[in-house]
Structure 1
């Protein structure tokens, strides 16, 4: 169906040729990592605000009654499309505990709104396995294809919530691209030639929240 093209093809950038493309979609994000009463990560709350150009294209694609806005049922359809489409990409979540990658469960729902010419999405995901607040944990949100640029405007947009974090230290890390390339030159080169259609090495450049407990 045509109305799924924008979110299935553009947002996800399924075409291999896009693996090293410049970003075409721009998102300002907020991530809250919530600690549960059991001393582990309970959930991760996301807020995404899309750029006006992409937002307008979604309106054109999902606006069934052509009134140049998105009705509640149309917003629901956008959310359902994204929920299904991003599953294979783990909803752009990048979680680790003591160096081990952790995937996330499918969110119950992705809430979508359209305000002031911009599309907003709100959703929460839970780790598929326990992430006890012990050792070193990292949390990030990035598109491995680099088609979508996910930016956290200020460090406060990467936040920890809950008493479980009281004994932990945290910092926001914004990698310097030149330094990353310099320190990983060989591995980046090998990754490209081993799989020129795309790798997951882009996570080295992604902003992340590091928590040490």
Structure 2
């Protein structure tokens, strides 16, 4: 995830954290399909872990009474905090057609809520023309550096089609990946994994959402 507040907030409280990942995000997807069976939009939901949510609210001076409840105005002030993407950032979401990446728009129609001590945001992304057939598409939410760990634990739904369905495929956790995870977690929180020769493993650990559609 690439926006300024993440780095600022985590550096302020880096000492108790392991190196990677720093942020845990439960992810949900709404796959929007048109009458011709083409995928036109994705609505992506990110539910941030409680600790990161606390860092964000404290950094912004929200919830001063520490009761875990935000006013409507406080929630409104959070809207879009995670949408300040740097140029070229793909939103930690990759859409694949036959192994080739399909371009997505920047975030639109951003919404934010706060529940059970967690910030939950959603945003809409349009599929750039020409919209691909939904059947066989793969959606992968991940941060290549594994600084942020995304896991598809929220709902995955299909909107606009009764013939399409989504299946969540977990990553293949082989011995090499487990060893790399242990190496990452052992690093000092301020150490960049690339500085000690560790590769980016976010894609290898990513969940895959596979769309399949029955012939009409």
CA RMSD of aligned residues (A): 3.4
What secondary structure sits across from 2:109 in the alignment?
coil
Match in the other structure for 1:18: none
Match in the other structure for 2:5: 6
- Shift in Å, 1:110: 2.1
Retained in 2: the 8 A contact 1:102–1:129? no
Retained in 1: the 8 A contact 2:152–2:168? no
TM-score, length-scaled by structure 2 = 0.70
- Shift in Å, 1:51: 0.9
- CA change 1:178–1:92 in 2 (3 A) is same
**For residues 132-151 of structure 1, what are the structure 2 equivalents within 5 Å?**
132-133=132-133, 136-151=136-151
What secondary structure sits across from 2:82 in the alignment?
helix
Match in the other structure for 1:28: 26
List gaps (5 residues or longer) in structure 1: 14-20, 182-191
Q: 2:100 aligned with 1:104, yes or no?
A: no
- CA change 1:58–1:79 in 2 (3 A) is same
What secondary structure sits across from 1:53 in the alignment?
helix
- Shift in Å, 1:150: 1.0
Match in the other structure for 1:174: 170
- Shift in Å, 1:132: 2.1
Match in the other structure for 1:16: none
Distance 1:90 1:202 in 2: 14
- Shift in Å, 1:179: 7.2
Q: 1:13-45: CA deviations, max 9, x gaps?
A: 9xxxxxxx4211111111121101243112111
How many pairs align? 188
**For residues 1-213 of structure 1, what are the structure 2 equivalents within 5 Å?**
5-7=4-6, 21-63=19-61, 66=64, 68=66, 70-85=70-85, 88-133=88-133, 136-153=136-153, 157-163=155-161, 166=163, 170-178=166-174, 199=200, 202-212=202-212
Distance 1:89 1:10 in 2: 20
TM-score, length-scaled by structure 1 = 0.71
Distance 1:141 1:116 in 2: 23
